[in-house]
Structure 1
């Protein structure tokens, strides 16, 4: 009988996780997985899949979004939610542009978008590699941007045909957003108030000029946020209800008078 009571107690207070949607931790997707991800779209241009790499040819206009990944729906965060950290690393391959004047021009930009405002950073080929903080507005396809001071990142910018990791970390606080760009052995941080974290949040990868071409080999997203699926909640609730009912039946059987 003690064993039965122990099981009932455990079921009453310990949810059973049947399934879960984990936004915490790290998710890495290669080009093939991104192409088949229902939350990933290509607003202005369709990529070509080469092995596990997404290749983007020339575009249609300046400051063009080539990939959008919807990360959080609106109201996932509230004004009183604790600081949310979203870290994004894109492994990008540098291709020769179609500009006869600027064949080596290649300036990938990584943004976080709240449906109107964008914050992020540009990783430019100038001076052997430089970072720029970027803010502005976007409709998801065209990005109206303002560039901040640049940081000379040295001479480690990838050559044509090479790939490199470009990282942007967003700390979404209650009153401000801190953005840290890193890669090529350097970092650059800035803060902004021009961002609404309670809205839907999407990752945007954009090009600077329409003649730039890109390879996206993989994208890694890390978040400290967890949202259980309805099945998880149902499983936990069912376990609790079963545990309470089972414990009640055990107690009732104990309280029944013994018949001689």
Structure 2
């Protein structure tokens, strides 16, 4: 097989995932197929010899294509009613049924009121557990700003859609278990709660306090928390379960968790100590 044929085979393996990402961002199966095809064109013209995570690279590319399409759509002032979720030719009926459930008419209407960057940040983070540093790279802002984009979108969605109490309760259970294992120094339990690709990222203010800027992998992340976290408190951070260290009731450091909806493992933790960012977050102790 030629190098291009190998690359094409690799792309086809990722096509279902890329199409799902594009369809949830755009709300249209036909536009999603166009976005995925454009991603292939860009891949075929790029040197990816030094790309370690091709799936992540492709997700970034297709997300950027979708962002451009959303902006173009907004500029044309298209009627959201003209953009239904419709099955593309040759699509998997089971997958289309899942997508229809995930992107019902009510949610689509709300998504169409969001700015392109808000919509992208919300879909990538809340539906695909993409971390904010990667989202920030896609939309061209800081990770803190990407978090705010997703938060604003989430508040509007939660105000119009019934809350999935079961899913939220499951995420709370995961964070509760993480805190208990951290306090008890149960390293094995922590490892079981962490995704193999988990990352812990700290902002500049947290690093200035003596925290490592980046920890990657279950062992490294578990090592940061094992036997510690005794002063942390449960809290909802922008509507999602997390942990906070507070002094006299005032949040000083927040730990925002990203939990994969499929297997219930923690895929990312963002440590936030910047006071301006903390002040912009909605933190509710629980």
TM-score under structure 2 normalisation? 0.22
More helix by share: 2
Greater Rg over alpha carbons, structure: 1
TM-score under structure 1 normalisation? 0.24
**Greater length-normalized contact order (CA 8 Å, ≥ 6 residues apart):** 1
More strand by share: 1
